[in-house]
Structure 1
Amino acid sequence: MMEHIGWLSLVPPVVALTLVIITRKVFISLGIAILLGAFIAYDGLMQAIAGIFQTVISFFVSFETLDQPSFAGFVESMTENGISINDWELYIMLFLVFLGIVASLITFSGGGQAFSHWAEKRITTRKGSLFLPFVLGLVIFIDDYFNALTVGNTSRPLTDRYRVSRAKLSYIVDSTSAPICVIAPMSSWGAYIIGIFASIFAANQIIEFSPLQAFIYTIPINFYALIALIFIVLVIVFNIDVGAMKQHEDRAKKENQLTDPAKGEVPGSLSEDLTMAHGRVSQLFIPILVLVVATVGMMLYTGAQGASHDGVDVTVLTVMEYTDIGLSLLIGSAIGLVVTMGMTLMARPNKSDFGKAVMAGIQSMLPAIGILVLAWTTIEMIGLLGTGNYLASLIDQSIHPGFLPVLLFLVAAFSGLATGTSWGTFGMLLPIAAQIAVVVEPTMLIPMLAAVLAGSIFGDHISPISDTTILSAAGSGAHHMDHVITQLPYAILTAVLATIAFFILGFLGAVIAWIVVGILLTITVFILQRVSKKETAAS
């Protein structure tokens, strides 16, 4: 990683974010940011191009990468040292393809339509249909990738029937998945964070509490995650639609256009003419159930195997810490795909239509995979430039301890926004937060750790290059940038409340912070309701 380039390391992410917001052309914006990052990180045009090529290839196969890349050196490295299958990015891309086919076949078989008919007898209001993805998001807390794609695809048949815009659905999915995962000890996120805490506590000789206890203590003061979940409930109950979200919702309610018609169909959308008649609810529930059971089962199996291999006691927490997420998602989705194909073929579909449904499922995930590859490449370039370390260095240990939680929240938020990764921000800032707390004020350790977790989630939520943002849109059948723009006001409002809460936490404690948040949240909802009603009356 490069050292001491300072503010220059911010250029690629800032350019990417600016261009995405101005042009709403994700591929072009990220492409320009990647080129800028490569030119800064490497010497000369050819080395920059070779560096980008090396990075992209590394998402498919693993090999010994070069610090000074060249095409000749790249080939030599692969020839001499060999290659192996990439067991993270490639597995995630295959998981997306398999899940896309599963979702398409469920729709093709009539399972989604049957579920919609079944659910409308039990969920009889539009608000009820909006609560479905929220409740499912709380239940499927095991992993954010799995949550975002499964919840969106499962909820879509019902929300479509009640004319809920795909932008609204993707907001609910995105603002439930990461916030619930970051406060669930038994999730992949919880295991990852607890693992970081363990390393931090050992390095700093912190013995007042265990890593698990520390994680649990951060939950009630992870203001952004908790406020985001509360805010979703209020948005649904009081029908709060503001800004671009209101345009999408009005279009869906009045014209039954669930996405922006000016942008065309979301890639991979299956024509209703291809949907088989007489579908059954089991054609939706059984594939999803198999998918969930197989994936969770694989997580438990790989986690137990990993813990045993390292001589660690096999407990629920160690299993989640050692689980192989990529392999579990791949095998779980493959099993789900086999079951879905089998059930669909048993209904004796037209072979040509079956093939079209499979292709539609693949096509539905290609934009998400394309954006993910560009986002991962951008993140690699940002890592080379040391953007995260530079942002972390901005925290001055001479600042009054009371200000540290709110400052860490803001730095983590910008880092999550710029790098597009919550986990990367956790890894960079949690150790720094702990070191500052140990030196400056040990009693502020838990609030500072909570501030990093909360800020990282906020930055991730508003970042166009965040993988969870991309996958929430894909799973909900929404255009990526429509999701980013419509979610922005809700995420910013939540972050403003969280910022105030962390400021109060540093000086007056958690109880006062929550009281103030409760009052401000009530006022915010009241104002937003009035704004929403005025916009409705004006239209």
Structure 2
Amino acid sequence: MDATATLGFISIIPAAIAILLAFKTRNTVFSLALACFIGILLSGKGLMGFPTLLKTSLGTTSFSWIFLLELFIGILIAFFQRTGAIQGFTKIMEEKKLSRVKVQLVAWVMGMFVFFSDYFSPLFVGSTMRSLSDKAKISREKLAYIADSTSAPVSVLAPITGWAVFISGLLIGMGPIQDASQAMMVFTRAIPFNFYALIAVVLVGLFSLGVIPEFGPMKKAEKRALEEGKVLRDGAEPLLGEELTDTPPYEGIKTNVFLNFIFPVLIVISIAIGTFITLKSAKTMEAFLTAVVVLGVIMRIQGVPFNDIMKTAMAGMKGVMPAIIILALSYSINQLSKDMGTANYIIEVTQGWMTPNLLPLITFIIAMLISFSTGTSWGTFAIVMPIAVPLAFSFAGGEVTTLVLATISAVAGGGVFGDHCSPLSDTTILASTGAAADHIDHVKTQIPYAGLAAMLAAAIYLIIGFVAI
């Protein structure tokens, strides 16, 4: 099937099955696997199409990268546990006697601080704040929400991230944009119009402060944690192995919070940002590999036996396997949706509504639908940006106007929405992993909050569409 072909309504069935089953059964692996199998049959590829799909979608540089990244992050978190680094960090924070509100605000600020990687951010915030938030009786669902809402939304707002480079790269050749520098300038000008991302980040602070009261499933989860002391509901299945939640520090080790925790984190940040500035590409996976090797050497110097270090590394890999399995199946169904033309079908049935006044709003809604049904924000950018932005330029007479900037940000914000609401999204999976939360519980509690941000953003895009013309 060529890139522009579509199977029509049939193309949305696999993603719909995966999402509905995930909520119904609370078993994401089963739901994704069954959806892939049904999708293969619907596309006429036969029984052997399923293993072929797995080989095609997982035998890629993209999946290999996130697979290795996950492994190295798992090892690093295991090393943090084995050296007592996270326990030491928690003890320092406990000495400050932070209130329940302040613990949430610290997690919020930490998420915004690690802005350079939407993959590292939720894992870092969740794993480092989990013990502290548990003691403060904050539900794992709330921690996962904070970690998730300060990852992709922050990354898409910063002009020095891979997100910025990718989105601006898509803009080259559109309207008067001729090169990368002009594209980045336009992207930067569009940042104030990315209302979904801005509102999503601000809402975290407002909910943490209690300015806006909790509502929906999150209110129930927080009440359970606060009144019953249960940070997880009965029967919940945390998306993180016991290897990364119950690993005790090595007996006799003298934990140094700087060497065992802060220094490795600084290595990751320095390499990621440094390579982005010098190579225009943040080498995040290589940054984690370096941090793992350095911390492993430090552990050996501190007296941890080599065999224990290797055993801890293997435990770290094992601990992230639940997330990796879901990521693998998510990549598979994303590839299946691409092959069946899911995004093209959504665009076909909505393109007729495109008018200058409704362009930002309709663009935002289309991007939301595609990102939610496929679980990929970058894929959404690649599909919608080449359609919506040239249309905006045609309405704007080839000039970079408010309508054009709002349309660019509508695509970006709509794509991020899928990162928040779809159980197929990689960053949502990573947020559940970092917080050791039940994945579907995280999705169910976060959807109303993401929906609130989306409704506010949609209203603003509607107003801009009529004001800008």
> What is the TM-score with the length of structure 1 in the denominator?
0.79
**Of residues 417, 420, 438 in structure 2, which corresponds to 1:479?**
438
1:6-45 CA-partner distances (Å, limit 9, x unpaired): 2221111111111112222111111121112222334433
Instruction: Give the 5 Å matches for 1:165-314.
Output: 165-199=139-173, 201=174, 204-205=175-176, 210-238=182-210, 240-263=213-236, 266-270=239-243, 274-276=248-250, 279-282=255-258, 283-301=260-278, 303=279
Q: Which residue of 2 aligns with 1:100?
A: 74
Q: Which runs of 5+ in 2 are unaligned?
A: none
2: distance between equivalents of 1:452 and 1:56?
A: 25
**Of residues 326, 336, 346 in structure 2, which corresponds to 1:371?**
326
2: distance between equivalents of 1:207 and 1:265?
A: 48
**Of residues 398, 421, 424 in structure 1, which corresponds to 2:376?**
421
**Of residues 393, 397, 416 in structure 2, which corresponds to 1:438?**
393
Instruction: Give the 5 Å matches for 1:358-397.
Output: 358-396=313-351
2: distance between equivalents of 1:336 and 1:269?
A: 23
Partner of 1:194, secondary structure, is: helix
Shift of 1:484: 0.9
1: distance between equivalents of 2:328 and 2:247?
A: 33
Shift of 1:495: 1.0
Given that 1:16 and 1:30 are in contact with CA atoms closer than 8 Å, whether structure 2 keeps it comes out as yes
Q: Which residue of 2 aligns with 1:72?
A: none
Q: Which residue of 1 aligns with 2:29?
A: 27
Shift of 1:192: 0.7
Q: Which residue of 1 aligns with 2:123?
A: 149
1: distance between equivalents of 2:101 and 2:308?
A: 34
Q: Which residue of 2 aligns with 1:58?
A: 59
2: distance between equivalents of 1:265 and 1:490?
A: 21
Q: Which residue of 2 aligns with 1:309?
A: none
2: distance between equivalents of 1:356 and 1:486?
A: 36
2: distance between equivalents of 1:191 and 1:266?
A: 31
2: distance between equivalents of 1:462 and 1:300?
A: 32
One-letter identity of the residue aligned with 1:49: F
The 10-residue stretch of structure 1 (384-393 or 395-404) with the greater mean CA deviation from structure 2: 395-404
Given that 2:372 and 2:418 are in contact with CA atoms closer than 8 Å, whether structure 1 keeps it comes out as yes
Note closer, same or farther for the CA distance 1:486–1:173 as it changes in structure 2 (3 Å cut).
same
Given that 2:22 and 2:28 are in contact with CA atoms closer than 8 Å, whether structure 1 keeps it comes out as yes
1:290-339 CA-partner distances (Å, limit 9, x unpaired): 222233334445x2xxxxxxxxxxxxxxx2xxx2x5xx223211111122
Shift of 1:194: 0.9
Given that 2:238 and 2:437 are in contact with CA atoms closer than 8 Å, whether structure 1 keeps it comes out as no
Note closer, same or farther for the CA distance 1:399–1:481 as it changes in structure 2 (3 Å cut).
closer
| Alignment length (residue pairs) | 457
1:216-273 CA-partner distances (Å, limit 9, x unpaired): 2221111111111111111001173323223332333344433234135654235658
Q: Which residue of 2 aligns with 1:76?
A: none
Q: Which residue of 1 aligns with 2:11?
A: 9
2: distance between equivalents of 1:257 and 1:352?
A: 36
Q: Which residue of 2 aligns with 1:404?
A: 359
Given that 2:170 and 2:382 are in contact with CA atoms closer than 8 Å, whether structure 1 keeps it comes out as yes
2: distance between equivalents of 1:465 and 1:102?
A: 25
Matching of residue 135 in structure 1 with residue 109 in structure 2: yes
Shift of 1:212: 2.3
One-letter identity of the residue aligned with 2:266: L
2: distance between equivalents of 1:351 and 1:207?
A: 54
Given that 2:78 and 2:313 are in contact with CA atoms closer than 8 Å, whether structure 1 keeps it comes out as yes
Given that 1:298 and 1:332 are in contact with CA atoms closer than 8 Å, whether structure 2 keeps it comes out as no
2: distance between equivalents of 1:404 and 1:264?
A: 42
Shift of 1:412: 0.7
Q: Which residue of 2 aligns with 1:522?
A: none
Partner of 1:402, secondary structure, is: coil
Given that 2:75 and 2:314 are in contact with CA atoms closer than 8 Å, whether structure 1 keeps it comes out as yes
Given that 2:194 and 2:413 are in contact with CA atoms closer than 8 Å, whether structure 1 keeps it comes out as yes
Shift of 1:446: 1.8
Matching of residue 469 in structure 1 with residue 428 in structure 2: yes
**Of residues 29, 42, 61 in structure 2, which corresponds to 1:40?**
42
One-letter identity of the residue aligned with 2:39: G
**Of residues 283, 292, 302 in structure 2, which corresponds to 1:337?**
292
Note closer, same or farther for the CA distance 1:402–1:266 as it changes in structure 2 (3 Å cut).
closer
1: distance between equivalents of 2:238 and 2:162?
A: 34
Note closer, same or farther for the CA distance 1:340–1:164 as it changes in structure 2 (3 Å cut).
farther
One-letter identity of the residue aligned with 1:288: V
One-letter identity of the residue aligned with 2:390: Q
One-letter identity of the residue aligned with 2:194: N
> What is the TM-score with the length of structure 2 in the denominator?
0.90
Partner of 1:337, secondary structure, is: helix
Shift of 1:205: 4.7
Shift of 1:432: 0.6
Given that 1:412 and 1:455 are in contact with CA atoms closer than 8 Å, whether structure 2 keeps it comes out as yes
Given that 1:116 and 1:161 are in contact with CA atoms closer than 8 Å, whether structure 2 keeps it comes out as no
Higher relative contact order (CA 8 A, sep 6+): 2
Given that 2:160 and 2:276 are in contact with CA atoms closer than 8 Å, whether structure 1 keeps it comes out as no
Q: Taking every aligned residue pair, what percent have the same amino acid on both sides?
A: 33
1:29-82 CA-partner distances (Å, limit 9, x unpaired): 111211122223344333x235324325514xxxxxxxxxxxxxxxxxxxxxxx
Q: Which residue of 1 aligns with 2:90?
A: 116
Given that 2:177 and 2:183 are in contact with CA atoms closer than 8 Å, whether structure 1 keeps it comes out as no
Partner of 2:214, secondary structure, is: coil
**Of residues 408, 425, 431 in structure 2, which corresponds to 1:449?**
408
One-letter identity of the residue aligned with 2:418: G
One-letter identity of the residue aligned with 1:451: A
- Is the radius of gyration larger for structure 1 or structure 2? 1
2: distance between equivalents of 1:360 and 1:330?
A: 19
Given that 2:116 and 2:160 are in contact with CA atoms closer than 8 Å, whether structure 1 keeps it comes out as yes
Given that 2:58 and 2:332 are in contact with CA atoms closer than 8 Å, whether structure 1 keeps it comes out as no
